[in-house]
């Protein structure tokens, strides 16, 4: 008889435990925008329409032909402008061979970080996860990932673990700063220790990992750094002051990092990726309901991970903002303050933690009457 096949327990996604939603719950503005991007808003499809009209011997002077040609020219111009803009902003891509890369992921035991770690582990990449949560050796071996127990908010721990990673796998070339915690409390209810811990994990950890791993990337003249922030870093929200402030700091950190790499002689092939997701279906905000499933759908971690992995493996820099509203949320700041107030009130962003039962509201009844 042959060798006994090792059995690996499989767990179905949690979505299988939930009842099927009505079909219209799956129709969102993101889905519509994606379909348009592959059809009417795609330059290739736009020119196909022109060719189809010519195949029907439609004269060039006909209004439908003129509209089709103008539309195709506009879509082509927009596409070319986007390519040139990305080239100016992010430069050329670098070559990425996963067999030669060493990937470090902070906060990779659960949520988005765990998903990326397990995907790379299945592909036999060199993956090191830094997290305060423990993972037993058998589970780590099954996933093909090395787990290091580490508080990334502690600079000395990061330096100590970095030495172990270099000895075990080699100098890191891809850094995914994903670690994050949230404490849904108002400013007055938050203690100094809680605020400090939030900033240590969400913000200072990025400084610790950058100071530790970036020199190795500069020596190798290649690398990719992923900064996972949040759309709330641009919005702010009641009862999430420490979380939103710590995520807002990452936006400035990312811009400063890009500027410093541009000034460094070996920084050209070190790519940077900024991730500003909306609400994800993770434990962190599991009980929070979105104000509109159509305009602000909850994003599955796999959708974010897919975009991050795509940019990493293409060797490109970029910005990932999902769902659609998070890509254009900065426009809100250009509106009159009265309009901004009405939008915030309609969206319910400042009452979300209270309604989810995660925080106490200040004059909740008065706010709901306004």
192-242 pLDDT per residue, tens:
999 999 999 999 999 999 999 999 999 999 999 999 999 999 999 999 999
Q: How many helices (H) and strands (E) does the chain have?
A: 15, 7
Q: Which helix (H) or strand (E) holds 286?
A: none
* Residue owning tokens 């986007």: 82
pLDDT, tens digit (0-9, with 9 covering 90-100), for 271-307: 999 999 999 988 878 778 888 888 889 999 999 999 9
Indicate which residue of 120, 147, 148, 243 is catalytic.
Answer: 243
The two tokens of residue 129 are 């996860």
| CATH level 3 topology of 98-332 | Rossmann fold (3.40.50)
Decide if pLDDT at 129 tops 70.
yes
pTM here is 0.88
The two tokens of residue 246 are 């710590």
Q: Within 10 Å of residue 264's Cβ, how many Cβ atoms?
A: 11
Indicate which residue of 143, 185, 247, 271 is catalytic.
Answer: 247
Q: Read out DSSP for 351-365?
A: THHHHTTSS--SSHH
Q: What is the pLDDT of residue 292?
A: 83
Q: 4-18, 75-89, 91-105: lowest mean pLDDT where?
A: 4-18
Q: Hey, what long-range contacts does 253-259 have (CB within 8 A, 24 or more apart)?
A: 253/203, 253/206, 253/207, 253/227, 254/227, 254/229, 257/210, 257/225, 257/227, 258/317
243 is catalytic: yes
Q: What is the pLDDT of residue 243?
A: 96
Average pLDDT, the chain: 90
* Separation CA 333–CA 127 (nearest Å): 39
226 phi and psi, to 5 degrees?
A: -110, 125
Q: What is the pLDDT of residue 359?
A: 72
CA distances from 134 to 20, 62, 129, 139 (A): 34, 69, 11, 11
Nearest to 247 by CA among 232, 225, 226: 232
19 band by pLDDT with thresholds 50, 70 and 90: low
Alpha helices, H only, the chain: 29-38, 43-55, 63-90, 111-122, 137-143, 155-168, 192-199, 205-220, 232-235, 241-263, 301-314, 324-327, 337-347, 352-355, 364-369
161 band by pLDDT with thresholds 50, 70 and 90: very high
Q: If you average pLDDT over residues 81-94, what whole number do you get?
A: 94
CA distances from 191 to 245, 351, 356 (A): 15, 21, 21
Extents of the domains making up the chain: 23-90, 98-332
* Separation CA 67–CA 42 (nearest Å): 15
Decide if pLDDT at 1 tops 80.
no
368 band by pLDDT with thresholds 50, 70 and 90: very low
């Amino acid at each position: 008889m042959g060798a006994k096949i090792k059995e690996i327990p499989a767990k179905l996604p949690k979505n299988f435990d939930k009842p099927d939603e009505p079909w219209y719950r799956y129709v969102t503005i993101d889905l519509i925008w994606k379909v348009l991007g592959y059809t009417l808003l795609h330059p290739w499809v736009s020119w196909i329409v022109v060719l189809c009209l010519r195949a029907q011997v439609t004269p060039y002077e006909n209004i439908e032909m003129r509209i089709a040609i103008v539309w195709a020219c506009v879509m082509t111009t927009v596409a070319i402008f986007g390519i040139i803009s990305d080239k100016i902003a992010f430069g050329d891509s670098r070559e990425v061979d996963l067999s030669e890369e060493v990937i470090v992921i902070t906060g990779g035991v659960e949520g988005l970080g765990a998903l990326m770690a397990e995907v790379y582990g299945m592909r036999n990449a060199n993956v090191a996860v830094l997290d305060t949560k423990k993972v037993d050796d058998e589970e780590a071996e099954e996933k093909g990932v090395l787990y290091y127990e580490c508080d990334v908010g502690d600079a000395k721990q990061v330096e100590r673990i970095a030495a172990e990673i270099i000895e075990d796998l080699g100098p890191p070339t891809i850094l995914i700063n994903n670690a994050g915690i949230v404490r849904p409390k108002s400013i007055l209810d938050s203690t100094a220790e809680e605020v400090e811990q939030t900033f240590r994990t969400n913000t200072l950890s990025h400084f610790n990992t950058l100071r530790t791993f970036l020199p190795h990337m500069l020596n190798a003249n290649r690398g990719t750094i992923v900064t996972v922030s949040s759309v709330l870093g641009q919005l702010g929200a009641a009862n999430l002051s420490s979380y939103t402030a710590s995520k807002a700091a990452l936006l400035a950190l990312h811009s400063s990092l890009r500027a410093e790499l541009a000034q460094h002689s070996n920084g050209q092939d070190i790519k940077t990726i900024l991730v500003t997701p909306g609400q994800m279906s993770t434990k962190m905000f599991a009980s929070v309901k979105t104000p509109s499933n159509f305009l602000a759908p909850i994003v599955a971690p796999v959708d974010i991970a897919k975009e991050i992995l795509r940019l990493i493996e293409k060797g490109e820099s970029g910005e990932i903002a999902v769902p659609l509203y998070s890509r254009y949320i900065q426009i809100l700041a250009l509106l009159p303050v009265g309009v901004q107030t009405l939008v915030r009130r309609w969206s319910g962003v400042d009452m979300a933690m209270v309604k989810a039962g995660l925080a106490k509201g200040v004059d909740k009844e008065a706010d709901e009457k306004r």
